[in-house]
Structures are given as C-alpha cells and as structure tokens.
C-alpha cells in the first residue's frame, strides 16, 4: 500500500510540517535522497541542530516513499494529544534514565522492515558541532543488519534552536536549509560499537561542515552569527564552552572528531575538512549526489 494512502495521523502531521515550511518559504535543498532505501530496514542517523530537524528530514524521507519512526525524548509524550499522535506515528519514546526500552522497540521496528530515525547526539550542541554520540545507532545496525545511513542538516537552526531561552523563533522567510543523506557506512567497520561510533562521528562531522561551508550558509561580512560554529569563523560558543552547556547523557562517547576543545578559535577554513573523506567541498549536483557533497552553488 502506498505511503501516501496509509497512516492518517502521520499524513496529517506531515502535511502540517510541509505547511510550516511553505509559510517560512524555506529554501530547502535535499541531496543524496537515493541513498535512503525505498524498502526494508534502515537506521537513519542524523545531526541535530534545530527543533525543525524532524520536519526537514521527514520531507526528505517522504519524497523517497518512507515514513521514519524517530527516537524522541519521552517529554513529548507528556502532553496527552501529542503523545497519542506520536504513538500512532510509531515514534519511539526515549527515557534517558531507562533507555533499554527504546532500544528494544527500535530493534523490533527494524525487524519489521521499518526506517528508524536516530539523533545520536541525543540533543543539540551549543557549539553547533557534532557533539558526543550515543552508541545506539551503531548497535542497532550491527545487531539487525540494517544499513546505517548518515544524514546532515544545516540551516533550520536560524529559525529556532538552543541558546538564549528568551530568544523567540526567527520567522523570516526565505532562509536557506540543506539536508544531505550520505551512503550507508561500511558494515565491516561497525562490528565494534565504539569504533563504529567513532566512524559515525567523523562522517557526520565531515558532512555537517561541508554544509556549513556552503556560501549560502556562511555569515555575511561583519555578521556576528552566534549559531555558526566558532572554529569556522562564527560566534557560537567554542567546543569547550559548548560541552559545559550541553546536557550530555552519561553513556555518550566522547568525540575523537571535530575541532579541538582547547577553547581557542581556529581560523575559518573554507575548503578542506580535517575529518576522514578528504576535501570538504567538491563539485556535485544538488540532488542525487550520492557519496559526493552538495555543490557550492
């Protein structure tokens, strides 16, 4: 049965999300959609930079004919109507104090052939880098044999994200946003959960920094953008301060990826990434780019 004709609650929620994107007139570009399998189990492991990430990732997945079951903090279920809707969309509540139940539910969904969405950072980095990762995404892929597909999101943080709690969402129209879905990680490199999580961290960092360096996302001359990473020339908290502000789960794996945490702001780098995969910017089409980064155009 077509994804467009089933699950009325999910269809309604997706329609509301698309309406929000239209109201914001978000200039959303989606790259590498063919990397998301059209059927069968898949773990979609994405960076988390804003409270709109679910919406833009869901649009990318629906365009591919998939409905993603996201692992989401249990607080969302505290509102009865929201909790009712989340259950019917088969999203998975995550209780940090007892995360095993979420893992078992996600494993069951994968064995049923579902797409499971995970934000392995378990929150948003105040430094807008890839922070410490939870090992669950790699563990799920290793145990079920589902492909582990990385995804990076950048742009929606300018609408709403972490930071000053008195700062209201910026509803300016026409903001740029990008979603990049990369090729599945090599299963042979996921046999060890810790090493696999390191690989995922390096991969997500390379992908995120590639999007952050796109000309359409760089701060304008003289702009003091506190939602652009400091090591790339922005004014977000540096990595050390970001870690102090972040509410990190105890079991998260400390980064071996990303910028140094010595508190110093490195000069902005415009062309090369220090993570695995070599150059951060190579020519490539905006859609269907596969393992190649999106173009700078």
Q: Which fold has domain 3-157+173-211+223-245?
A: Glycerol-3-phosphate (1)-acyltransferase (3.40.1130)
pLDDT digits (tens, 9 = 90+) for 110-134: 999 999 999 999 999 999 999 999 9
> What is the mean pLDDT of the segment spanning 262-280?
39
Q: Which residues contact 93 (CB under 8 A, 6 or more apart)?
A: 72, 73, 74, 76, 77, 86, 102
> What is the mean pLDDT of the segment spanning 208-228?
96
pLDDT digits (tens, 9 = 90+) for 155-213: 999 999 998 888 999 999 999 999 999 999 999 999 999 999 999 999 999 999 999 99
DSSP annotation of 178 reads E
Judge whether 150 and 291 are in contact, CB under 8 Å.
no
Tokens 């742009």, residue? 155
- pLDDT grade for 6, boundaries at 50, 70 and 90: low
Please choose, from the candidates 29, 47, 18, the residue with its C-alpha nearest in 3D space to the C-alpha of residue 176.
Answer: 29
Return the pLDDT at 210.
98
pLDDT digits (tens, 9 = 90+) for 28-78: 999 999 999 999 999 999 999 999 999 999 999 999 999 999 999 999 999
- pLDDT grade for 98, boundaries at 50, 70 and 90: confident
Return the pLDDT at 156.
97
> What is the mean pLDDT of the segment spanning 130-153?
97
> What is the mean pLDDT of the segment spanning 3-20?
83
Measured CA to CA, the distance from residue 46 to residue 31 in angstroms comes to 14
Mean pLDDT of the chain: 87
6-10, 76-80, 100-104, 271-275: range with lowest mean pLDDT: 271-275
């Amino acid at each position: 049965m077509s994804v467009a004709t089933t699950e009325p609650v999910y269809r309604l929620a997706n329609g509301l999300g698309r309406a929000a994107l239209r109201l914001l007139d978000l200039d959303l570009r989606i790259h590498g959609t063919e990397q998301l399998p059209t059927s069968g189990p898949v773990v979609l492991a994405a960076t988390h930079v804003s409270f709109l990430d679910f919406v833009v990732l869901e649009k990318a997945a629906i365009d591919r004919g998939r409905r993603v079951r996201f692992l989401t903090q249990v607080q969302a279920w505290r509102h009865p109507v929201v909790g009712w809707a989340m259950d019917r969309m088969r999203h998975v509540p995550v209780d940090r104090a007892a995360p095993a139940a979420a893992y078992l539910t996600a494993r069951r969904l994968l064995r049923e052939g579902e797409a499971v969405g995970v934000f392995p950072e378990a929150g948003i980095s105040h430094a807008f880098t890839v922070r410490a990762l939870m090992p669950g995404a790699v563990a799920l892929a290793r145990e079920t044999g589902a492909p582990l597909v990385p995804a990076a999101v950048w742009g929606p943080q300018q609408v709403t994200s972490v930071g000053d709690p008195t700062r209201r969402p910026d509803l300016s129209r026409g903001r740029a946003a990008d979603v990049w879905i990369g090729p599945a990680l090599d299963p042979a490199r996921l046999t060890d959960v810790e090493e696999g999580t390191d690989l995922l961290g390096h991969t997500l960092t390379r992908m995120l920094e590639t999007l952050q360096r796109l000309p359409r996302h760089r701060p304008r001359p003289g702009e003091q953008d506190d939602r652009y990473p400091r090591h790339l020339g922005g004014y977000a908290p540096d990595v050390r301060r970001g870690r102090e502000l972040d509410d990190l789960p105890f079991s998260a794996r400390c980064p071996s990826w990303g910028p140094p945490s010595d508190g110093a702001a490195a000069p902005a780098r415009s062309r090369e990434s220090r993570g695995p995969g070599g150059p951060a910017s190579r020519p490539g089409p905006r859609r269907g780019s596969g393992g190649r980064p999106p173009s700078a155009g």
